[in-house]
Amino acid sequence: MANKLFWIDEAESIFYILQGALARTKAPISIVYIMPKTKEALFSDEQVLEFIRKADVVFHDTDKAGWWGILPNSGRKEVAAFLKRMKTHFNIEEPSPYHVVVTEVRDPQASLIEIVKAIKTMPKTEETSTVNYVDGPWTKGSKSTIKVSLVVDEPIIREVLKRSISTIRLDHFDIELQEFEDGLAFESSEWHKSAHSHLVVLDDVLPKKNGMEVVHFLRNQASSQKFHIFMLTDRVSEENLITAYQMGIDEMIHKPFNLRLFESLFRRTIERLWFE
Amino acid sequence: MRISTTVLLWIILTLLTLLLIFSVYLTILRLLEKRRLLQEANYVQRSKVHWMNYLFYNQDWHEDMVPKTLQEKRAAERLLVKFLNSVYVEGTREKIYLFAERYMASYYRKMLASTEWSHRMNGLYRVIDFRLIELAENHLNKWSNRNVRNAEEKYYLSLLKITVGRTTALDLVKQDEVEFSEHQNRALLLKLNQKDLNSLIDNYDYLPHASKLALIDVVGEKNYIQYQDFFVKQLEIEERSELRIRMLKSLELMGFIQDFHPFVSFLSSPFWQERMLASRIVGMFPLRESQQYLLPLLEDQTWWVRSTAAKAIAKQKEGISVLLNYQLKTEDRFAKEIIDEQLLKEEAIAL
């Protein structure tokens, strides 16, 4: 980003570009408003620019009462680290002479100017904390789609897994599931060809094309990082495990496996795709 | 010899009649098989949701789950075996055992009483899978005085004894009245706990040959490093090459060797397998210690030994340059070739 304190309309254009990555990265953009309580606490432009990182964008407050920061790929933890850094950099002592308002943006259509306006017109509550996290319609993004493929030749086990996955409640994701009875059917379908994150549950022994061949195929695709591969196997030797992980399998599940464990693993893998 | 037209016609007619009868027979068989498959498929379709609800979602048992005909019992058996081997939650197995005890016992009783060996064996597999204790006891009582010749049947009858608690896996491994195959011994060994394994190691010399082989393999596979010293000592005194080779393989599988010097003598063994395995073990150590032992093996008469030594050197830091230097110095054609082969492999990996 250019090393200057922007005006809000300039910042709006940059914000619009950053929003383009929201759907792909699933990481929110945090907007931070630093408002000094006293005139003495006001930073100069140079002081702000000295502190701010290259990846972040700062712009003037329209009423010249403080400054705003746009922190891409930043959730609460990153904002907390940012504020801690600010405290150290400017030697800020308690009680803090600043009001800080933070909001997360997950909506790729939200307008920066509208967000700033909304925050500035929010009724001021009795502040018990110097840092206030606010929500708005921009905080909720649309649910992302995750594709799930069940490549298992045994129909009843496929049904058990399908039913198990359908009972898992995910706050931020919609699951689209398809079943395949062999590796060849999966490979020759168009199902794996999209930008969506894709979780593949497959048996190691399959008709027509076995599990390892499918893994090899997936890991040689462009953007193969989108694939998370669980392999069901009854081969328990360490040698097999080593080979499997070297081939690019993310999780080996030994049969017979506990269905609740599978559900936990599934949920955990999907939730890790969400940026907190 | 000339055959008259009439006779020829009769021959053709007879053959055609036989063909027709055979076709009709096959068609009837096929229709019966299709009917059987349809009955099985209908049972699965009717009951699978209830099975899933009952086994995995704590819901109540449903009447549709009870198999009524022989085909439905076969279908239920296949379904339950799939669940047992693939997926469970807490309580699934116990529900399956109870169900089998209540609704399938008579079916397996008939199978166990069959004069056909294959039917008895299938019955035995399921009695063990579904833990049908009463049936197992009855069958063992019936067969206690019979002379079972088939090795597979003997083995499964032994497993049945374990199921009902008449013997243990440890006793079966130790005994030599019934000769089990290495694979069967291995399956028994995998059931043992640490204490039992210790007991076997203490009585190693008295074990049957197949049990020894299986024990050595299982210890290596399971990485029981605590037995490493024992095997290293055994290597020094073991006379049988097969056992020495297995021990070396097992030690190599463990992945962690405290000291490679006990294995140096095997680098010049008359058996290429011993040389190869010893070179893998020595190759686990840094080149500054192992180089002097591995480099001469690049000129070994056996390709496997040469290749293993080259691989062991190449995978180490500075290993490639060590190989290249050796290639310049040596006059052995095979050594130069194996180094070239290894360098090509390294290039392929790097790409």
Q: What is the pLDDT of residues A75-114, one digit of tens each?
A: 888 999 998 998 888 888 777 788 889 999 988 889 999 9
> Domains, chain A, ranges and CATH?
8-134 (3.30.70.270), 144-271 (3.40.50.2300)
- The model's pLDDT over B126-145, given as tens digits with 9 standing for 90+, comes to 999 999 999 999 999 988 87
Q: What number is the average pLDDT over the span A20-38?
A: 84
**Nearest to residue B124, comparing CAs of B110, B107, B112?**
B112
CB contact under 8 A, A255 and B223: no
| A70-84, A104-118, B14-28: which is most confident | B14-28
Q: CB neighbours of A189 closer than 8 A, spacing ≥ 6?
A: A178, A180
Using a pLDDT cut of 70, give the percent of chain A over it.
95
Residue B26 in tokens: 């096959």
- pLDDT for the residue A220: 92
Q: Please tell me the predicted confidence (pLDDT) of residue A223.
A: 85
For residue A127, the model assigns a pLDDT of 55
**pLDDT band at B76, cuts 50/70/90?**
very high
| % chain A with pLDDT above 90 | 44
Query: Which of B:235-294 have CB within 8 Å of A?
Result: none
Question: Higher confidence at residue A272 or residue A147?
Answer: A147
A160 CB neighbours in chain B (<8 A) are 52, 56, 86-87
B183 CA: distance to closest CA in chain A (Å):
15
For chain B, say whether A127 makes contact (Cβ under 8 Å). no
Lowest mean pLDDT among A221-235, B173-187, B322-336: B173-187
Task: Tell me which residue has tokens 């002097």.
Answer: B292
Q: Is B85 on the interface with A (CB under 8 A)?
A: yes
Please tell me the distance in Å from B125's CA to the nearest CA on chain A. 17
Q: Which residues of A touch B89 (CB under 8 A)?
A: 258-260
**Count of C-beta atoms within a 10 Å radius of residue B130:** 25
Q: How far is B67 from chain A (nearest CA, A)?
A: 17
Does the structure show a pLDDT above 70 at A1?
A: no
Confidence of residue B93 (pLDDT cuts 50, 70, 90): very high
SS3 readout for chain B:
CCCCHHHHHHHHHHHHHHHHHHHHHHHHHHHHHHHHHHHHHHHHHHHHHHHHHHHHCCCCCCHHHCCCCHHHHHHHHHHHHHHHHHEECCCHHHHHHHHHHHHCHHHHHHHHCCCCHHHHHHHHHHHHHCCCHHHHHHHHHHHCCCCCCCHHHHHHHHHHHHHHCCCCHHHHHHCCCCCCCHHHHHHHHCCCCHHHHHHHHHCHHHCCHHHHHHHHHHHHHCCCHHHHHHHHHHHHHCCCHHHHHHHHHHHHHHCCCCCCHHHHHHHHCCCHHHHHHHHHHHCCCCHHHHHHHHHHHHHCCCHHHHHHHHHHHHCCCCHHHHHHHHHHHCCCHHHHHHHHHHHHHHHHHHC
In which band, very low, low, confident or very high, does the pLDDT at B350 lie, cut at 50, 70 and 90?
Answer: low
Q: Do A260 and B82 touch (CB under 8 A)?
A: no
Q: Say yes or no to pLDDT of B192 above 80.
A: yes
Please check the confidence at residue A49 and state whether its pLDDT lies above 90: no
pTM as predicted: 0.76
Percent of chain B with pLDDT over 70: 99
State the count of interchain CB pairs (< 8 A) between A and B.
46
Is residue B311 very low, low, confident or very high in pLDDT (cuts 50, 70, 90)?
very high
CB–CB contact A156 B48 (8 Å): yes
Nearest to B79 among A156, A163, A260 (CB): A156
Residue among A40, A58, A62, A70 at smallest CA distance from A138 = A70
- CA–CA separation, B189 and B152 (whole Å): 17
Long-range contacts of A247-252 (CB under 8 A, 24+ apart): A247/A212, A247/A215, A247/A216, A247/A219, A248/A215, A248/A218, A248/A219, A248/A224, A249/A215
Query: Which residues on chain B are in Cβ contact (under 8 Å) with A256?
Result: 84-88
The verdict on A258 touching B (C-beta cutoff 8 Å) is: yes
- What is the three-state SS of chain A? CCCCCECHHHHHHHHHHHHCCHHHHCCCEEEEEEEECCCCCCCCHHHHHHHCCCCCEEEECCCCCCEEEEECCCCHHHHHHHHHHHHHHCCCCCCCCEEEEEEEECCCCCCHHHHHHHHHCCCCCCCCCCEEEECCCCCCCCCEEEEEEEECCCHHHHHHHHHHHHCCCCCCEEEEEEEECCHHHHHHCCCCCCCCEEEEEEECCCCCCCHHHHHHHHHCCCCHHHEEEEEEECCCCHHHHHHHHHHCCCEEEECCEEHHHHHHHHHHHHHCCCCC
Identify the pLDDT of residue B32: 95
The mean pLDDT of chain B is 91
- For residues A26 and A43, the answer to whether their CB atoms sit within 8 Å is no
Considering chain A, what is the average pLDDT of its residues? 87
Whether B98 contacts chain A with CB within 8 A? no
- Give yes or no for a contact between B274 and B241, defined as CB atoms under 8 angstroms apart: yes
pLDDT of the residue at A129: 57
Residue range A115-132: mean pLDDT, rounded: 75
> Nearest-CA neighbor of B130 among B106, B110, B105, B109?
B105
Q: Which residues of A touch B46 (CB under 8 A)?
A: none
CA angle B338, B339, B345 (to 5 degrees): 90
Unique residue bearing structure tokens 């002081």: A47
Inter-chain touch B82–A154, beta carbons under 8 Å: yes
Q: Which amino acid, residue A273?
A: L
What is the per-residue pLDDT across B194-242, written as a single tens digit (0 to 9) for each? 888 898 999 899 888 888 999 999 998 888 999 999 999 999 999 999 9
The pLDDT of residue B79: 94
- What band does A43 get if pLDDT is binned at 50, 70 and 90? confident
Rounded CA separation A222/A227 (Å): 11
CA separation for the pair A234, A256 (Å, rounded): 7
- What pLDDT score does B149 carry? 81
pLDDT tens, residue by residue, A152-191: 999 999 999 999 999 888 888 899 999 999 999 999 998 9
d(CA A221, CA A229): 14
* pLDDT at position B288 over 80: yes
Q: Is the CB of B56 less than 8 angstroms away from the CB of A237? A: no
Q: Which two tokens stand for residue A39?
A: 């005139």
* A105 vs B88: CA distance, rounded Å: 42
Q: Is the model's pLDDT at B109 over the cut of 90?
A: yes
**Cis previous bond, A256, omega within 30:** yes
Q: What is the pLDDT of residue B39?
A: 94
Structure tokens at B83: 């669940």
Paired sense of beta strands A67-71 and A98-105, if any: unpaired
Q: What is the mean pLDDT of residues B155-182?
A: 86
B223 contact residues in A (CB cutoff 8 A): 238
User: Residues of chain B with pLDDT > 90: what percent?
Assistant: 72
Confidence of residue B24 (pLDDT cuts 50, 70, 90): very high
